[in-house]
Amino acid sequence: MAIAERKIVVGAGVAGLTLAERLCAGGGCEVTVLEGEDSPGGLARTFTREGFSFDIGPHRFHTSDTAVQSYLLEILGSEITAIPRASSVYIAGRYQDWPLSLGGVTKLPFSMLLPSAFDLLRVGTRGTPASFADHIIARYGRNLYRHFFRGYTRKFTGLDGSELHTDWAAAGVDRAVIDRKVKADSLLSLARSLVFPSPVTTSFIYPERGGIQRFPDLLAERIEASGGTIRLSTRVEGLLEDGGAVRGVRLSDGSEVEGSEVFWSAPVTEAFPGLELHFIDTIVYNVALRARTDNAYQWCYFGEPGICFSRLSIPRNFSEAMVPRGADSLVAEVTCPPGDPLWDSPSSMIQRLMEDLGRVGAAAPEDILFISPEKVRRSYPVYTLDYKERLAAIRPPAGLRLLGRCGTFWYNNMDHSISQGLAMASGGDVPREFWKTSVGTR
């Protein structure tokens, strides 16, 4: 017999915790959060070692949604610091500010610039794109696709651009420009922004201490202070159903937790096995450095196939509290498609990682104090050509709600997860096409 007052939230990421905190604040129900990891936060966790703090890649708060902004300020209070935008891309052996500047582009090799000039005459003239590769070539030209997008996409997803749905462009490329005044969604837009640049003064907020995990930690404190329960290191194995309606969940130890409603932010493939939807796992290599570097960006993308990492972020450029005085650090992200042998032996990459960090000028091997790999499962959904058909096959039982990046199989950001949690707590929802309606946090 289900407990009518209990609502179960599976997954203690940003979406699940926001929802649980609002349900607890509203009262009238018993809220239980079940989380497989040993700490809350999901992808918004922070690892600490020897005085260094490392987020799982770059995270910072910025949103055009006033409800989300108000909620962030309510939770974080005065524990915030304002940081400017500083993101980069490494292309043709050079660091470029993003959005691109005219001065930076003129320093690129002529052999790269000339074909793109010809591509300007052809972009947008092709028919409906059938894949991510077609989409990028139609909008940015074959030259930029060859020099950056193709290699980066293969390295990041393990798939060729022709094997990915066009939505991968909307999820991973179009949202890379956060300030709405800046247009970079095609080669023509990029060219216009170089000749007629719009001032970019976007400001972000970040927790003053504790890394990005400070936000989920504060949510967890509020949930428990309001009478809710958070059970960590508790793996959910499946749903309990009765007559087409959910009545709770089954745990990996065989026990059951019953409830009248289940909000599922864990990977949707665990609720509906056999979907053949694919996620990318990530290994984050947390690198501690004995001295300051010249790395001025908050994060930088690396598309060259010969560089083992796809992105670097610099924790100090989010908050000085992330490193000991005078020291520095960086986070190198290496994605692992399904079946990648690196997942079982992440230390095998460390020597190459050190060499590549030196090659791009990010860190000298002799300055490295330690490198600590952390495995992060299911960090990104992958949009294969048939992913929409597979999603359409899901038939949730009554009383089950899907939310969050993993639960909806949607490459969203933190503000989208917060917005979804807020909406679901009040009985509503938000559109699945998150990136078409708002600009978000990382």
Mark whether 105 and 32 lie in a shared domain.
no
Domain housing 128:
98-195
Task: Answer whether the bond into residue 216 is a cis peptide, omega within 30°.
Answer: no
Q: Please, what are the averages of pLDDT over each run of 10 residues along the chain (442 residues)?
A: 75 98 94 97 97 94 88 94 87 76 54 57 63 84 80 91 90 52 48 48 85 97 97 96 95 96 96 91 98 94 92 96 97 92 96 97 96 96 94 93 94 90 88 48 44
Query: Is 186 found in the same domain as 116?
Result: yes
Q: Quick one: pLDDT at residue 176? A: 47
Q: What's the confidence (pLDDT) of residue 106?
A: 55
pLDDT at position 174 is: 52
Same domain, yes or no: 217 and 243:
yes
Same domain (yes/no): 164, 103: yes
Task: Verify that 234 and 170 share a domain, yes or no.
Answer: no
| Residue 110 in domain | yes
pLDDT of amino acid 64 = 81
Between CA 138 and CA 175 the distance in angstroms is 18
* Spatial distance between the Cα atoms of 374 and 328, rounded to a whole number of angstroms: 19
Structural domain contains residue 316: no
**241 inside domain:** yes
Task: Give me the CATH number covering residue 28.
Answer: 3.50.50.60
Residues 114 and 170 in one domain: yes
Angle, nearest 10°, between helix axes 414-425 and 66-76? 90
Q: In the prediction, which pLDDT does 138 show? A: 80
Pairing of strands 328-336, 203-207: unpaired
Residue 78, in any domain of the structure: no
Residues 213 and 186 placed together within one structural domain of the fold: no
Q: DSSP per residue over 133-165, as a string? A: HHHHHHHH-HHHIIIIIHHHHHHHHSS-GGGB-
How far is Cα 212 from Cα 318, in angstroms, rounded to an integer? 10
For the chain, the domain total comes to: 2
In a domain, 28, yes or no: yes
Q: Which residue, of 195, 228, 257, is where some domain finishes?
A: 195
Query: Which residues pair with residue 158 across a beta bridge?
Result: none
Q: Does some domain include residue 141?
A: yes
Cα 181 from Cα 186, distance rounded (Å): 14
Q: Is residue 108 part of a domain?
A: yes
The answer on 270 and 220 residing in a single domain is yes
Q: Are residues 104 and 191 in the same domain?
A: yes
Rounded Cα distance, 371 and 376, in Å: 16
CA distances (Å), origin 71, targets 19, 348, 365, 422 = 12, 42, 42, 9
Beta strands in 99-212 (DSSP E): 203-207
| Alpha carbon distances (Å) from 18 to 11, 12, 415 | 11, 9, 11
Domain C-terminal end among 141, 169, 195: 195
CB count, 10 Å around CB of 415?
24
In terms of domains, do 171 and 233 share one? no
Closest-CA residue to 407 (of 235, 267, 277, 238): 267
Same-domain status, 125 and 146 = yes
The one-letter amino acid code at 167 reads D
Q: Is residue 37 part of a domain?
A: yes
**103 shares its domain with 189:** yes
pTM: 0.88
User: Where among 195, 216, 240 does a domain terminate?
Assistant: 195
Sheet of 400-402: strand order equals 229-231, 30-34, 6-10, 261-264, 400-402
Radius of gyration of the CA atoms of the chain, in A? 22
Nearest to 189 by CA among 201, 197, 179: 197
Q: How far apart are CA 351 and CA 86, in angstroms?
A: 28
